[in-house]
Amino acid sequence: MGQYFTRERYGRPQFLAGFLLLAFLGQALWLLRMDSSAPSAGPRYYGAEEMRMVVGWRQWHGEGIAGAPYPNFGNDSVPGGVPENGFDTEHSPLIPLITAAPLLILPQHWNAELSDSWPWLSALFLRLPFLACGVLLGASLWYVARRLCGNAGGFVALTLYCFSPSLIQASAVWHTEPEIVAAWGAFGTVFTAIAVGHTLYAPREVVLWNWRRIVLLGVALAIAVGAQFSMIVLVPLALVFLLYVAPVRLQAGTVIWVAACVVGSVLLFAAYFFHLRAFVESMRHAVFWEATWRGFTVPGVYKQVATQVGRACPALAVAFPVAIVTYAVWPRTRYFGNTAPLLVAVLFLILGMAHPHAGGEGFLLAAVPFLMIFVSGVLADLMETRYRPWVAAGAVGMLAAYVVWSLLSLAQVPRG
């Protein structure tokens, strides 16, 4: 135990990162407080959220499978992606299950009165899983950025994340769908696949030795695809990264990928509580690919995507052009640790443009953490040059202005 709690694992950088994550959580809670303090909120969002809670609660108590199909409680309450037959074509029961899960610890009679008597506490319980996903995604981003770019890059990436308006909004599920779950699953899938690929160079029995990472990769795939069916693109993407990182162990990499897909499929089946008929019918109605390329011929779509990314992290409006120009003209920055997140971010942006419905929003949100990794990696490379004082001063000034702007904008959020 003493070897685990060491300064290398829990030193000053980890405490500072923890402080930033607490700031992120505090902002999300403030947004949640403002959202639940209004006497009447938008029925579109609260109706869908309540529907997810109701059907998730029913599934936990053995009264059907959420979204397979939804009961007819009125069209205003049914979440997006649900046609007239009631089957959720875009999500598995994962989102309703985790929405209702925190309520399982409460007495049933209190559940019935919680929404009327304690609206803020009720909203908090309904959104606890999504707040947790937001914090865990931030922690994952910090871990990856620090491993790739060192402390400087890790703090740049985490600061960009912890004051991102869109990521705070997604974690608080404030007038939006809970895409934060799919974003966390996508981030975990990509970097777990890369990590597994690196371990294939070890002179060991890689399949058995990697069982923990196989399970982790399967869990990440199940979370991403279960939260948004169109994230099925991560399945071949994980194989591409596995085989690219370890081209000398193609057979072992393929076996590990297949094993992770089996684990993910079993976990996705578990979200249906192993009801074979409900699972088969849901997969039959599921829309795994609804991309249309018409949006690429409309100039307004490009402007809309750029606007959404800018709203997600306004600092990227300054940092990303600097990073992409540096990446283009300086060969030292064009290594795998910078290129991989840039390629994934571009792929998600393209898929976001190609999916005009809720799936597009999920891809756009999932692209933001990868853009942050890319920007932090290039800035960390610049900080290792003789221009370090100027680069560091510029980065600190940009981040300080970004933090102040984000906090001032949050303070102006109206109730409801």
Q: Which domain covers residue 118, as residue numbers?
A: 40-127
Mean pLDDT of 168-172: 93
Q: What is the mean pLDDT of residues 270-275?
A: 94
Cβ 167 vs Cβ 134: under 8 Å: yes
Q: Are residues 205 and 321 in the same domain?
A: yes
Tell whether the torsion through CA atoms of 124, 128, 134 and 139 is positive or negative.
positive
Give per-residue pLDDT as tens, 72-91. Answer: 655 445 555 565 567 888 88
Q: CA-CA distance, 238 to 190, in Å (whole number)?
A: 6
Given pLDDT bands bounded at 50, 70 and 90, which one contains residue 4? very low
Kindly state whether residues 52 and 143 are assigned to the same domain: no
Q: Please give the tally of structural domains in the chain.
A: 2
User: Residues 353-366: what's their mean pLDDT?
Assistant: 80
Residue 77 is predicted with a pLDDT of: 52
Query: Using one digit for the tens of pLDDT, what is the confidence trace for 84-142?
Result: 567 888 889 999 999 888 888 766 554 555 555 556 666 777 789 999 999 999 999 99
Question: Rg of the chain's alpha carbons, rounded to an integer?
Answer: 22
For the cut 80, the answer to whether the pLDDT of residue 40 exceeds it is no
Based on the fold, state whether residues 263 and 353 are members of the same structural domain: yes
Q: DSSP for 25-81? A: HHHHHHHHHHHHTSSS--HHHHHHHHHHHHHHHHHHTTS--TTSS---S-TTTSPTT
User: Quick one: 261 and 165 in the same domain?
Assistant: yes
Q: What is the pLDDT, as a whole number, of residue 357?
A: 64
Q: Is 15 part of a structural domain of the chain?
A: no
> Is residue 34 included in any domain, yes or no?
no
Give the integer Cα–Cα distance in Å for 19 and 261: 36
Instruction: Give the DSSP per-residue string, 375-400.
Output: HHHHHHHHTTSTTHHHHHHHHHHHHH
The lowest-confidence range among 200-204, 205-209, 228-232, 274-278 is 205-209
Q: Best-predicted range by mean pLDDT among 43-47, 107-111, 320-324?
A: 320-324
The pLDDT of 287-297, averaged and rounded, is: 78
Same domain, 214 and 171: yes
Of residues 111 and 294, the one with the higher pLDDT is 294
Higher pLDDT, 74 or 274: 274
Is residue 90 situated within a structural domain? yes
Residue 341: name the closest of 309, 317, 373, 366 by CA. 373
Residues 215, 293: one domain? yes
- Check whether residue 114 and residue 176 sit in a common domain: no
Domain stop point among 127, 151, 169: 127
**Cβ neighbour number for residue 199 with a 10 Å cutoff:** 17
The whole-number average pLDDT for the span 161-168 is 95
> Two tokens at 19?
């402080």
Most confident of 40-44, 110-114, 198-202: 198-202
Q: Look at residue 287 and tell me whether its pLDDT is greater than 90.
A: no
- Per the domain annotation, does 298 fall within a domain? yes
Length in residues, the chain: 416
Asked if residue 318 is part of any domain, the answer here is: yes
Is there a single domain that holds both residue 212 and residue 311?
yes
**Amino acid (1-letter code) at residue 36:** S
Final residue belonging to a domain, choices 88, 107, 127: 127
* Residue 86 C-alpha from the chain's centroid: 26
Residue 25 inside a domain? The answer is: no
Instruction: Verify cis geometry, omega within 30 degrees of 0, for the bond prior to 69.
Output: yes
| Same domain flag for 341 and 365 | yes
Q: Model confidence at 27, in pLDDT bands (50, 70, 90)?
A: very high
Q: Helices 388-411 and 358-382 sit at what angle, rounded to 10 degrees? A: 150
* pLDDT surpassing 90 at residue 298: no
Mean pLDDT, residues 12-18 taken together: 90
pLDDT band (50, 70, 90) for residue 205: low
Q: 118 and 136 in one domain?
A: no
Percent of the chain whose pLDDT exceeds 90: 54
* 165 within domain boundaries: yes
Per the prediction, the chain carries an average pLDDT of: 85
What pLDDT does residue 41 have?
Answer: 44
Domain assignment present for residue 13? The answer is no
Q: Both 100 and 244 in a single domain?
A: no
Q: Which of 99, 127, 155 is the last residue of a domain?
A: 127
Q: What is the pLDDT of residue 12?
A: 85
Q: Is 174 or 2 the better-scoring residue by pLDDT?
A: 174
* Cβ-based burial of 402 (10 A; exposed 0-12, middle 13-18, buried ≥19): buried
- Whole-number pLDDT of residue 45: 43
Q: Are residues 114 and 193 in the same domain?
A: no
Of the candidate ranges 48-57, 230-239, 332-341, the one whose mean pLDDT is the lowest: 48-57
Q: Are 295 and 301 in contact (CB under 8 A)?
A: yes
- CB neighbour list of residue 336: distance below 8 Å, 6 or more residues apart: 245
Q: Which tens digit of pLDDT belongs to each residue from 217-239?
A: 999 999 999 999 999 999 999 99
| pLDDT bracket for residue 36 (50, 70, 90) | low
> Distance between alpha carbon 44 and the CA centroid of its chain, in Å?
23
